[in-house]
Structure 1
Amino acid sequence: MITTICNDIAETIGNTPVVRIRHPLIPKGKKLFVKLEQFNPNLSVKDRTALGMINKAIETGRLKKGGTVIESTSGNLGKSLAMLGASIGFEVIIVVDPKVSSSALNWYKAFGAEVLIVTKQDSYGGYQSTRIDTVKKYVADNPEVYWPNQYDNNDNPNYHYHFTSKEVASMNVDLISGAISTGGHMSGIANGVKEINEDIRIAACDVVGSAILNKPFSPFLINGAGLSWRSKNIDESNIDVTVNITDEEAISICHELARTNGVLLGGSSGLSVMGALIGLQHSSVNSAMAICPDFGSNYLDQFYDEDWLKQKGVKLLECHTLFDRISTYAQEWVNKL
């Protein structure tokens, strides 16, 4: 075996593995695959997103070596930007809210990033809007600072359109499921995949409480998914079906795959796997792949912790209950797949 030597940490981003899942919730004779973005250096798909936006900013002169980047994040993008800042040579300021895990805070600081924590809730009871307002004020006062703005920056979906979608489409499954999140990776992947194979169906998943898919906003537990508004990067033109899944359902799916397959997933990955399982209930879908954005190790002190689950009032659902929920969602997709 030949060992590949990379010139820098960024060269290790991408080409993540795909694993076949075996579980009673998968209909007999059908296949479920998970694309594990946890194999990126910072354990999430946001390494790809950060690389795409930073490379384009450097290429266009919006960011120069030794400059400063500021970004609002619920967790993973901040790790990726902080890593690239340390590797490439620019300062990073991360704006987060109280939902961020203590391990993420230490992660940012380990790479030398500065952290600003927003504690004021917005009118919806969330924090995203106040995080963004904090970033906007900082950039207004410091115009030389570069704000990637993952929510509205077209460099985000464009990177996934050109690169990530080719990895995903190579599996040639009947359905691809993913968490819609900021719209960056899922919209870019959907557009790229459909150009390669228009017969592949695309399912976009979100958490109940998020307003991304034009639903009423209310607070939710899962990090890395959901927004109190709809970002400009959301493009549903090549998305066939959408679904909003509860915290409880997504977290329960994560526990199921950890116990039965040894795959430790983050909450947004639970949304994605639920979407794939819903799709597999349909006769036209014999194989599905869930794009799993992050690693469950980020949440060992949250929804993998029994005390945290009790504190938040989350009850893990048994397999038969999950099956009933999946079947109910599947009825909503009748005549859409």
Structure 2
Amino acid sequence: MSTDGLLTIGCSPLAHIATPVPRDHPGYYAKIEALAVGGLKARSAVSMVMGARSRGDLADGAAIVESTSGTLGIGLAYVAQRLGHPLTLVVDRELEPAMRNLLTALGTTLVVVDRPHPTGGWQQARLDIVHEIRNGPQKPYWPNQYDNPDNARGYLGLADEIMTDLGARGIERAEVLVCSVGTGGHSNGVGRRLREMWPHLRLIGVDAVGSTIFGQPGTARMMRGLGSSLHPGNVGYELFDEVHWVGPCEAVHACRALARDGFHTGGWSTGAVALVSGWAAARWPGTVVTIFPDGPERYLHNIFDDEWCNRRGLLGPPRRSPHEIDDCHDPTDCWTRCCSVRVPVSAPAHGSASAPAGVTQPGKAAVT
């Protein structure tokens, strides 16, 4: 199979966002990854699959299996189609019917998990099935997006695009980068590359209320696509100057405001980073840049559905500023900010990921 089509991955537009969320601000820049071929996670999918092929871990025509909440599945389907790998995706019953239909149309085999793991939630339940499939007769290759360094390596090109796009606008550097955090891949790859070029860059991580990534106790999460019930090895904890946990009310408000006032909008991750990026743009001088991971299409029956949101109390007034805590382990249930990021006690030893190949270990910006 030819790899020529994979060269079209990336090259998403950079848009100036001025929507006043959570309040008026001078604007920030967002990479609109919904307009890139295969979406944001096609970048990591190409990197993980090509890395496995180059090492001999994935033979021509061999099967692939992975757990996904949706977005990575699209990227893997794109790569698997081009390279001739049968693809099985383990999803859960919360995945939207439209997304299930799309993934099936793209030629994947779906295995749907019916109930969450009692402590690890949907992620652990999906991973348990992945391990069962891997131990079956076919023994497919598992990219393991959570702990695979090739995941972060796939986003070095995104960082280079950000530098090029800003340069084309006459902007020499960014002062703040805002990234959603799920597997830790794009915050690690983009953050390290940009920090290498701009040592004083401030990196803000955006997590979901109820996620365990940065030390909070795990609870049921309404927001999909960011946050985790696990501690992914790709999270570069040492890179972050601060972390924000965002709740669903604030994310819904941001997504809807973006749609009304700025056209470019998306799902939970996009709403969460838009909220924090607007807050950062109002707080610090200089250029703020972020990544909008997805578009609105799969969220028309939840985030953009009045009845769905009303039943869950998500259309009330959102917070306009974050609650502040001194330690990431202090429990919170609303939009919250913490400037003392550290590896959670319960995280595995590999919880602070090493730099992708070709990227040095830069220092952090001063905390203010």
- Secondary structure at 2:65's aligned position in 1? strand
Q: Does 1:18 align with 2:14?
A: yes
Matched with 1:165 is 159
Matched with 2:222 is 221
Q: 1:28 to 1:110 in 2, by over 3 A?
A: closer
Instruction: State how far apart, in whole Å, the 2-side matches of 1:253 and 1:326 are.
Output: 18
Matched with 2:307 is 307
Q: Does 1:274 align with 2:305?
A: no
Could you list the per-position Cα deviations for residues 81-125 of structure 1 after superposition, in whole angstroms to 9, with x for gaps in the alignment? 112212211100000011111111111111111000011211237
Q: 1:229 to 1:285 in 2, by over 3 A?
A: farther
How far 1:24 sits from its partner (Å)? 3.2
Please provide the CA RMSD for this pair: 2.4
How far 1:63 sits from its partner (Å)? 1.4
The gaps in structure 1 that reach 5 residues or longer are 1-5
How far 1:289 sits from its partner (Å)? 1.3
Matched with 2:320 is 323
Matched with 2:27 is 31
Q: 1:24 to 1:155 in 2, by over 3 A?
A: closer
Q: 1:326 to 1:36 in 2, by over 3 A?
A: farther
Instruction: State how far apart, in whole Å, the 2-side matches of 1:326 and 1:262 are.
Output: 29
How does 1:165-244 map onto structure 2 within 5 Å?
165-170=159-164, 171=166, 172-244=173-245
How does 1:38-187 map onto structure 2 within 5 Å?
38-42=34-38, 44-124=39-119, 126-142=121-137, 144-160=139-155, 162-170=156-164, 171=166, 172-187=173-188
The gaps in structure 2 that reach 5 residues or longer are 167-172, 326-334, 341-365
Instruction: State how far apart, in whole Å, the 2-side matches of 1:211 and 1:177 are.
Output: 19
- Secondary structure at 2:290's aligned position in 1? strand
Could you list the per-position Cα deviations for residues 265-304 of structure 1 after superposition, in whole angstroms to 9, with x for gaps in the alignment? 121111111221222232x433211211111112112211
Matched with 1:286 is 286
Contact 2:242–2:338 at 8 Å: present in 1 too? Answer: no
Could you list the per-position Cα deviations for residues 288-327 of structure 1 after superposition, in whole angstroms to 9, with x for gaps in the alignment? 112111111121122111222133332253xxx4434589
Letter in 1 for 2:320: F
TM, length-normalised to structure 2: 0.82
**Structure 1 outlier segments of 4+, above 3 Å:** 6-9, 24-29, 324-335
- Secondary structure at 1:141's aligned position in 2? coil
Matched with 1:3 is none
Instruction: State how far apart, in whole Å, the 2-side matches of 1:280 and 1:330 are.
Output: 17
Letter in 1 for 2:309: L
Contact 1:26–1:280 at 8 Å: present in 2 too? Answer: no
Q: 1:106 to 1:239 in 2, by over 3 A?
A: same
Matched with 2:362 is none
Q: Which moved more, 1:217-226 or 1:302-311?
A: 302-311
How many residues align structurally?
326
Q: 1:28 to 1:313 in 2, by over 3 A?
A: closer
